[in-house]
Structure 1
Amino acid sequence: MSIGSSKVECFHAGRSSDPAEAAKKRALIVGYLTYRSDARVKNQVRVLTENGYAVDVICLDEDLEASGDMVNLLGIALPRYRGSSPLRYVYSYLGFLTKAAVAAARLSFHRRYNLAIACNMPDFLVLSVLIPRLLGARIVLDVHDPLPELYNVKFGRPNGSLGQRFLMLEERVSAWLAHRVLATHDLHARRLQAAGIPARKLRVVLNAPNSDLFRYSHQPLERPGKFRLVYHGTIAARHGLEIAFRAVHLLRHKIPEIELLLIGRGDGLEDSKRLSRKLGLDSLIRFERPLPIEQLPPLLHDCSVGLVPPRNNAANQIMLPVKLMEFAMLGVPIAAARLDPITQYFDSNAIEFFAPDSAEDLAGAIARLYEHPERCASMAREANRTALGMCANWAQNYLEAVG
């Protein structure tokens, strides 16, 4: 294991000699994740520290030095697997679980936690905080993503597959071990309840951006030069990047200054680069590595349209993309697939919708935003108003949900 450092103090396992520090409430967060680019976890850490918690995070050891937060980070030295083998995922998850459980147990005997949060995927990471639970911590399972549905989509399994049924059982057992289960939006909560998780345990905590970072600019939407589309996040087939590439291909002569910026990585990165070359788009598509959350807002704000092109599949039918919320908070106009998790909150006055899986319809949506700048700016303002309303009491709701 490697040890990360923070702005406040270096990570250590001993008791603090400072009485004020020792008297703080303590929270532990465990997740198979890259802390610097995980918007949801970073937002939770911010709210907890602002409300008197000392927070420790056990995560992957990727780029810990770039975290920039008032938090103690313990990095697990384990490469994040992003391939196509279910067994390799299981092996990687189990390796992280084992090391995280040992670290959490060791910490718990020195730092008695009031709160311990396990972030999926996988759900069974809740096992890593059993020792803190036995020592009095309140346990929260934060279900970032619907694992059974993602399994079917990622590995091409049919609905009702053996793997899906096993993961639904794993989800229920993991929820049973927690005092509280967090869903990311209302449809997601209903799906978890239908799967057998008691409503009394469930709370909705939206994927809300940090409003101090993702702040709307009231400056006119004048973006000279390129008409730049942007996508940021996981690069995978299920997120519809092929649709975006083909839409750019259709528009390359209609909008001569068009270009697409991709920020992220994932198991679809090499396939995406091959498709870019095949379509002759290498001069129009730029690939960038993931950035710390703090560096994203100015880069996104300089873009003309934010793309949210998820495919219409079982997983995306119950996922509200955080990138959509970030675009809305910044006032970046949005072209998004018309899927239920999005339309439950946003209407056509706020977002230029297109039919999922249709490059032609996405091209039409982008063209409308390009051709009607006044309407484009009006939609960006409406999306911002909607997002602000959704996130207005986020910190209070989060603290009530985990408390």
Structure 2
Amino acid sequence: MKIAMVVHSYYPNDVRVRRECEALADLGDSVDLICLCKNGERSREQIDNVEVRRLPVQHNRGQGPLGYIKEYLSFFFRAAFTLTRLYLTRKYPIIQVHNLPDFLVFVTLIPKLLGAKVVLDMHDITPELFQSLYGISDDSKTFRLLTFVEQLSLSYADLVITVNKNIRDLFLTRNQIAHKLEVVMNAPDPRYFNENGSATNGINGAFKLFLHGQILRRYNFESALEGFDLARREIPELELDIYGDGERQYIDELQEFVLARGIREDVRFHNRVPVERVPDLIRKADLGLVPCEKDVFVDKVMLPVRLLEYVTMGLPAVVSRVGTVESYFGESEVAYYPYDDPRALARRIVELYRNPKRRTEMARRAKNAFRSYEWPRMQTRYYNALDGLLSR
């Protein structure tokens, strides 16, 4: 079977999209994918089972709302034209669209009228995200408009999948779509992420902290860096490696912070690396860091993928205490600290440094807690959802 996907993101950088494409490849299916195009990328490329069509639109982080609207609309109209043209010759039985934006699902209008089934994959929840980014209130016109567009998009789709139970539950308070809503979590793919060889060097050498993924303000990296600096006073051999990309201005600010604190030799910033390289980097670490800013978006619906990758790899983690993480992991499974308390973070790092057995036991408990959500189970759930859609 050949299906189409549309995503306002880069491929193969978007790990969730890649994971789903690889899951389809395991069945012998192929994908026509429409996505953004970075400088230096080819407009058309075959990557395994995915025929990638990149449109001449780039994502610019940190721009204002008007900039995002212009970017989204530019991609929307280009994607709608490209998808419709392809559909008229390829007659995809299923078209899967990934948010953001929610209204991107309407690029499927003509194919849907002609018989295609539409899947909306909700990576994020837009009204709460805008509250986090721009401080809008629940009763603002902007929030009500975003909620209206979200509900219209959910109602339009034939199947909705999302990334965790917290988003699912929030959707169900606003739209009765339980009959067509499924959770397929961002669980790490075991073909890349497995526990073999994870390091627990601890006191015998440099004690290595690891942090990777998107570098955005809502992840509160500055608190993590301050906590690192405090912990380093008791652990001179403490090191931190940060891999990722994100908001350029914010990254510059973090690097200036590191320079001002005199810890540039111990905190190393690296560019983003492909997903297949991440497991080897995690294996070299002793402790994973998962900082977050506790706001309405993070606390309600965000479950950091980096945490799930640490758990899967058997790496103990220190995590900002936010509601979504607490709904999956207990006190004995990860080491929580208040998101805005660097001293508490430093205490957690020092405690775990001094207690290797506790690190090992905590990692084991976290892995067991997450076992029912591992990717093979999610992959089967994804297949079943698509099969059920085709049988309607």
TM-score under structure 1 normalisation? 0.89
One-letter code aligned to 2:123: H
Gap regions ≥5 residues in structure 2? 388-392
Cα distance in structure 2, aligned partners of 1:249 and 1:93: 40
Partner residue of 2:276?
A: 294
Matched, 1:72 2:48: no
Q: Among all aligned residue pairs of Structure 1 and Structure 2, give the percentage whose two residues are the same amino acid.
A: 32
**Partner-residue secondary structure (3-state), 2:289:** strand
TM-score under structure 2 normalisation? 0.91
| More displaced 10-residue stretch of structure 1: 273-282 or 228-237 | 273-282
**Partner-residue secondary structure (3-state), 1:45:** helix
One-letter code aligned to 1:97: F
- Aligned partner of 1:161 among 137, 140, 143: 140
Aligned residues of 2:132 and 2:295 also touching (Cα < 8 A):
yes
- Aligned partner of 1:185 among 146, 164, 169: 164
- Aligned partner of 1:55 among 23, 31, 51: 31
Note the C-alpha offset of 1:68: 5.3
Cα distance in structure 2, aligned partners of 1:185 and 1:245: 28
Partner residue of 2:390?
A: none
**Partner-residue secondary structure (3-state), 2:12:** helix
CA RMSD of aligned residues (A): 1.9
- Deviations 1:361-384, CA, capped at 9 Å, x for gaps: 111111121110111011112222
**Partner-residue secondary structure (3-state), 1:36:** coil
Aligned residues of 1:40 and 1:207 also touching (Cα < 8 A):
yes
Cα distance in structure 2, aligned partners of 1:197 and 1:216: 40
- Deviations 1:56-102, CA, capped at 9 Å, x for gaps: 11111237579954311111122211023110011111111111111
Aligned residues of 1:39 and 1:209 also touching (Cα < 8 A):
no
- Deviations 1:242-268, CA, capped at 9 Å, x for gaps: 110110121121111112222112223
Aligned residues of 2:199 and 2:283 also touching (Cα < 8 A):
no
Matched, 1:113 2:95: no
Note the C-alpha offset of 1:204: 1.0
Cα distance in structure 1, aligned partners of 2:125 and 2:260: 33
**Partner-residue secondary structure (3-state), 1:109:** helix
| More displaced 10-residue stretch of structure 1: 265-274 or 325-334 | 265-274
Aligned residues of 1:320 and 1:341 also touching (Cα < 8 A):
yes
Gap regions ≥5 residues in structure 1? 1-24
Note the C-alpha offset of 1:168: 0.8
- Aligned partner of 2:178 among 186, 199, 203: 199
Matched, 1:276 2:268: no
Matched, 1:395 2:365: no
Matched residues, number:
379
Partner residue of 1:39?
A: 15
Cα distance in structure 1, aligned partners of 2:354 and 2:47: 40
Partner residue of 1:368?
A: 351
Note the C-alpha offset of 1:197: 4.7
| More displaced 10-residue stretch of structure 1: 285-294 or 212-221 | 212-221
One-letter code aligned to 1:290: R
| More displaced 10-residue stretch of structure 1: 319-328 or 131-140 | 131-140
Note the C-alpha offset of 1:340: 2.0
Aligned residues of 1:333 and 1:351 also touching (Cα < 8 A):
yes
Aligned residues of 2:200 and 2:285 also touching (Cα < 8 A):
no
One-letter code aligned to 1:379: M
Aligned residues of 1:36 and 1:67 also touching (Cα < 8 A):
no
Aligned residues of 1:36 and 1:64 also touching (Cα < 8 A):
no
One-letter code aligned to 2:35: C
Aligned residues of 2:80 and 2:107 also touching (Cα < 8 A):
yes
**Partner-residue secondary structure (3-state), 1:307:** strand
Aligned residues of 1:37 and 1:290 also touching (Cα < 8 A):
no
- Deviations 1:258-314, CA, capped at 9 Å, x for gaps: 122221122232222232233333222211121211121111221111111111111
| More displaced 10-residue stretch of structure 1: 359-368 or 85-94 | 359-368
Partner residue of 1:171?
A: 150
Cα distance in structure 1, aligned partners of 2:252 and 2:140: 28
One-letter code aligned to 1:264: G
